A and B are shown apart, each in its own frame.
Chain A
Amino acid sequence: MGAFALRRLGGMAAVLFAVSVLTFLIFNVIPNYDPAVRMAGKSADPQLVASITEEWGFDESLPQQYLTMMGKVFSGDVISYQGQEDVDERIVEGIPATLSLCIGAAVIWMFFGVLFGYLSAVRAGGLLDKTLTILAVAGISVPVFWLAAVLLNYLAYETGLFPAQGYVELTEDPVDWAYHLILPWITVAVTLVGLYSRVLRSNMLDAMGEDYVRTARAKGLRDRQVMSRHVLRNSLIGIVTLFGLDFGAMIGGSAILTEAIFNLNGVGLYLYESIENLDLPPIMAIVLFGAFFVVLFNALVDIAYAYLDPRVKLGSEAR
C-alpha cells in the first residue's frame, strides 16, 4: 500500500515536471517575441526590459532559462512588473477565499449530488425521480455567469437578502463569512449537483443488477441496508474519481468566473485581473499553481481508490 502511494506520488512529480516544461515553452519560447518585453507590459521603458532580461536570463540557453524560471517560482521570487507587487504573496493572499469557496461548494455539491442521485435511483421511474431528473438537467445546462447574475439580481439587489459581493475572513466572523459565500457556493455547486446526481443514479441502477446485490437481499438485509451498504457504497467509487478531478480543477482556477462576478478576493479573481492586463508573470505562476492542484488531486484519487476498491491495490501488486 505504502509503495503504491509512493509510486503514485513519484508519477505525480513526473507529470508536474512535464507541465512546467510545457508552461515554460508556451510562455517564453513559442511566442517568438522577446519575453522580457511581453513581461514588462504595455508601458515598458527599455531599462525595465533590460533588467528583466538580465533577471530571467533570457539571453542564456533554454534549459538555463527553464531552471531560472523554476527557481524563481519555487523561491517565491516572481514579480508582477505592471502591478509592482510580489505574485506569490498575492496568490497566498487569495488562497483562503478560493479554498473557502471551493470547499464550501464541494460540501454542497457532494451532499446534494449524492442525496438526489440516491433518491432518484431508489425511486427510479417514479414522480420524485422524474422531478429530480428535470432539475438535474436544468442545473447542468445553466451557464455559471447567467445563474450568478440571476442570483445576484433577485437575492441580492432586489430583495437584499444576501450581500452582493466581498469576502469576510473566516477567523474574523464565521457567520458573516458563510453569509457572504452562500450565493457563490450555490453558483458553483448547481451544475455539479446536477451532474453528480445523474452519474450516481446511473451507477446505482447498474449496481442493482449485480449478483452481489441479490446475495445481500438473500441474506435478509433490509432494503435500506442493501441500498446503502452494497449499492451506494460500490457506486460511490466512480463519484470519487469525478470529485477528485473537479475539486482539483476548481482550486486550480475553474472558479474564476464565480470569483470575478462576486468579487471574491481569491486566486481566480487575481488570474482574471492578470489576464485583463496581459500581466504575464502572475498568469504563469497561477497556471503552475493550478496544475499542481489538478495533478495532486488526481494522485489522491488513485490512492483513495486503493482504499475504496481492494482489487485496485492488489491488482497492481500481482502483475
Chain B
Amino acid sequence: MSEGPLISVRDLRVGFATEGGLVQAVDGVSFDLAPGEVLAIVGESGSGKSVTAQTIVGLTRSHNARIEGSVRLGAEDLVAASEGELQRVRGERIGMVFQDPMTSFNPVYRIGAQIAEAIRAHRPAVGKGEAREQAIELLDSVGIPEAARRVDDYPHQFSGGMRQRAMIAMALALEPEVLIADEPTTALDVTVQAQILALLERINRERGLATILITHDLGVVAEVADRVLVMHEGRIVERGSLDEVFYSPKDPYTRSLLGAVVRIDGAAPLRPPRTSEPLLEIDGLVKHYPVRRGLLRREVDQVRAVDGVSFTLRQGETLGLVGESGCGKSTLCRAALQLIEPTSGSVRFEGREIAGLSRREMRPLRREMQIVFQDPYASLNPRKRIGQIVGDPLRLHGRASGGEARRRVLELLKRVGLSAEHYDRYPHEFSGGQRQRIGIARALALRPKLIIADEPVSALDVSIRAQILELLAELQEDFGLTYLFVAHDIGVVRHVSDRIAVMSEGRIVEEGPADRVCEQPSDPFTRKLLAAVPIPDPRQARARRQAAGLA
C-alpha cells in the first residue's frame, strides 16, 4: 500500500433542495483518512456528520441533492464517479455499518443470505454454497456463537448486539480498505456498546482497517479514536489528535460539547438520605408471561420478566433502576402503574394496595402517577398540536377546560423551557430534546406525585441529555416530585439518583445509595455495567483498557 491518504475529502458541500429553500447540510468539509487509523467525526444530530459519511459512497445522491467538492479514493473521484463505478466501490472497497441494527437488515431474508448477497454482488463467480460458507466464517470472526447454525436465522431472531455484529461481518465480507461506521452503537445498551466498540477496535488492530466512526458520544470517541473532527452546522470546527481535542480544545463549541457530557466518575451532588414517608412500596412483584406452543397453544414454559422484586420509594427521592435490555425493567414499570396486571405481589401507593384494582378504581390514582417515555418521536401523536397534547390530561381528568386549560398549558410549556409560540405547533417541528420536554410537560400537567421516567434520555444526543437531566432535577425541587428513573446506562442514573437498584434477569441484584453502588459495587453484574460506561477521557480509557488487557 502506498503512503499518503486513503481517502481525501476536499471542500465537500452537500445541499438539499426543500420546500423551504436549499438546506446546506455539509458546508465545505475537508479531511484525509490515513491507512489504518480510526477517525472520529463528532457532532450533534443535524451537524452534517452522517450526510458527510454517506456522501463519501454516494448514498445521498438524489434528484434534490446538490453535491460539490471532491472525495478521492486513490485516483478515483467518487463525487464525479458514475453510479456503476460507485457500486463497485461500495462494499468492495468501502464497507458501511449503520446506526439501527433493528431496521438495517431486510426482515424477510436470512442473515446469511444477506451476507452472501453482498459477496456475490461483487464476486459473481462465487457459488451460493461457497458464499454461505464465507458468511459462517465471517459471523464466527465477529463473535456470533454457533455461527453455522445462526447463519440461517432471520434478523428478528438476533438480539440487537448480534445484529450489529452481523452488520459488521457483512461490511467486512469483501475485505474493504475503509469501514464507515455511522453511529454504530447509539441504538444499543451500554454493555453491548462496549462489546461492539471492542470488536471494532480489534478489527482495526488485526486488519489495519481504516475506520471513519461517526458518533455524537464523546465517551465512544475516547475509547477508540486516533484522531477527531468536530462538526457543527455542516462545518468542521475542530480537528486534532484525540488528546488535543479532549485536553486542549480550541473551539468554544468543542468545549461546550465536552462540558455537557454526564460523567460517571464526576463528583455527584451530595444527597442526604431521605426519611420521608414511603410513596411507592413494591413487595414480591412477579410478572410471568406464558410461552405457548403447538396446535392447542398449550403453555409449555414461562418468561419470568419480573421475578420477585421488592423496593420502597420514599417521597421526594429518586430511585435509579438500571439493567440491560430485556432485564424486565420496563415490565416492572408497567406493572407498578397497573398498566399490566402483575402475576403476583403487592404494589402500595401512599400505603394503599393498588395491585388488582379495576380500571375505574385506578382512574383517580392515574393523576398521581405519570410516565415519561423513551422515544420522544413515537410517543407524541403527530396529528395533534402541542397545546392539545399537553392539555389532554387536564381535560380528560376534568381538571380544567377552555381558557383555564390553555393558561395552565402555557405555564407548563414555559416551565419546561418552551415558549407560548410552541402551543399551536405539531410534534415534527421540534427537535428530540424539545419533544422530550413536551413529554415531561404532559406528565406534569396533572401535578402528579410520582413520575416514572423510562429511559427518558437514551434516545437523545449526549449534549441534550445534560439539559433534560437538569430540567428533571429542577422540577423535582419545585414540585416535590418522586422519580423512578429507569435506564440502561448506570452513568446517567448515578447523576440523578439518591439510590440505585440494579436489575438483571427479572431480579434486583443490588440496591443501595448511588455513590456506594457505583464506587463499591458488590454484585459482579453491577461491576460489568460500570465497566461498560464509556469514559470521555482518553487517558482514563487507555488506562482502563490496559488494566483489562493485563487482567
Contact = CB atoms under 8 A, between A and B. Distances in A.
Interface of A: 3, 6-7, 125, 210-212, 214-223, 225, 229-230, 233-234, 237, 308-311, 314, 317-319
Contact of A318 (B91, B98, B103, B291): B291
18 contacts: A3-B294, A210-B103, A211-B98, A211-B100, A215-B104, A215-B106, A216-B117, A218-B95, A220-B89, A220-B90, A220-B92, A221-B87, A221-B121, A234-B107, A234-B108, A311-B154, A314-B156, A319-B292
B212 to A, nearest CB: 13
B107 A220 contact: no
B121 A211 contact: no
Contacts of B88: 220
A2 to B, nearest CB: 9
B65 to A, nearest CB: 14
Which of A125, A215, A230 has the most B CB atoms < 10 Å from its CB?
A215
Which of B106, B291, B293 has the most A CB atoms < 10 Å from its CB?
B106
Nearest to A310: B154
A310 B295 contact: no
B176 to A, nearest CB: 10
A215 B105 contact: yes
Nearest to B173: A219
B479 interface: no
A311 B294 CA distance: 17
Given A211-B98, A214-B59, A311-B156, A219 B91 contact: yes
Contacts of B96: 215, 218
Contacts of A220: 87-92, 118, 121-122
B104 A211 contact: yes
B interface: dominant SS:
mixed
A212 B170 CA distance: 13
Nearest to B113: A229
Contacts of A222: 84, 87, 121
A interface: dominant SS:
helix
B470 interface: no
Interface in B393-452: none
A212 B84 CA distance: 20
Closest 9 CB pairs of A and B: A220-B91, A220-B90, A211-B103, A212-B106, A218-B96, A219-B118, A310-B154, A219-B91, A211-B104
Contacts of B104: 211-212, 214-215
Interface of B: 57, 59, 63, 83-84, 87-92, 95-96, 98, 100, 103-108, 117-118, 121-122, 154, 156-157, 167, 170, 289, 291-295, 297
Contacts of A7: 295, 297
A219 B293 contact: no
Given A218-B96, A314-B157, 8 more contacts: A211-B98, A215-B96, A215-B104, A215-B106, A217-B90, A219-B118, A220-B88, A220-B118
Given A218-B90, A219-B170, A220-B89, A3 B295 contact: yes
Nearest to A315: B156
A215 B96 CA distance: 8
A233 B106 CA distance: 10
A216 B106 contact: yes
Contacts of A3: 293-295
Contact of A214 (B92, B98, B289): B98
Contacts of B291: 318-319
Given A3-B295, A6-B295, A314 B100 contact: no
Contacts of B95: 218
Nearest to A4: B295
Contacts of A314: 154, 156-157
Contacts of A229: 117
A219 B84 CA distance: 13
Which of A3, A216, A222, A319 has the most B CB atoms < 10 Å from its CB?
A216
Contacts of A214: 59, 98, 104
B98 A309 contact: no
A212 B103 contact: yes
A314 B154 CA distance: 10
B171 to A, nearest CB: 8
Contacts of A223: 83
Contacts of A319: 289, 291-292
B27 to A, nearest CB: 23
B151 to A, nearest CB: 15
A229 B156 CA distance: 19
